[in-house]
Structure 1
Amino acid sequence: MQRIRKVQICSIIVERGSISMVDYSLKRNMWENCIKIKKKREFLDLKQNNLILAEYESEFVRLSKYAKELISS
């Protein structure tokens, strides 16, 4: 009997084992979208707090690619 492992990522269950290519593509797309939403939320919640300016700027640039529609050029 094959053991199936489940990993919870952003409330999406991903099963390891035999899955069809369609299932794989759908789960991958859902996972990628979930990560994008999570990173956008991190961007929106970003505060300098104890970060030095260079660290804050680095985080801002890293996370800003997930929230392009919120940044004016």
Structure 2
Amino acid sequence: MTGNRSAEMAQARKARMVGIVIAGTMIVWMGLQFLGGTLGLPERYAFLFDFAAIAALIWALVVTAQIWRARRDDKG
């Protein structure tokens, strides 16, 4: 029983982290896009910001899939 509870807590922590990463990525990405346009930065910086955001969102997708599979396996 204790092992199952700790596994659920670990999954909840992972899910919370995914939510924070997704929200933070979008806020930072939008801010950097705005800042880049305001300062007149070259387009290559916009692509750099885009790729960094894509990398963070892919990480979030992978971790979300891991959480989903772990919960599916726990239900049997």
Richer in strand (by share): 1
TM-score (norm 2): 0.48
Richer in helix (by share): 2
Q: Larger relative CO (CA 8 A, sep 6+): 1 or 2? A: 2
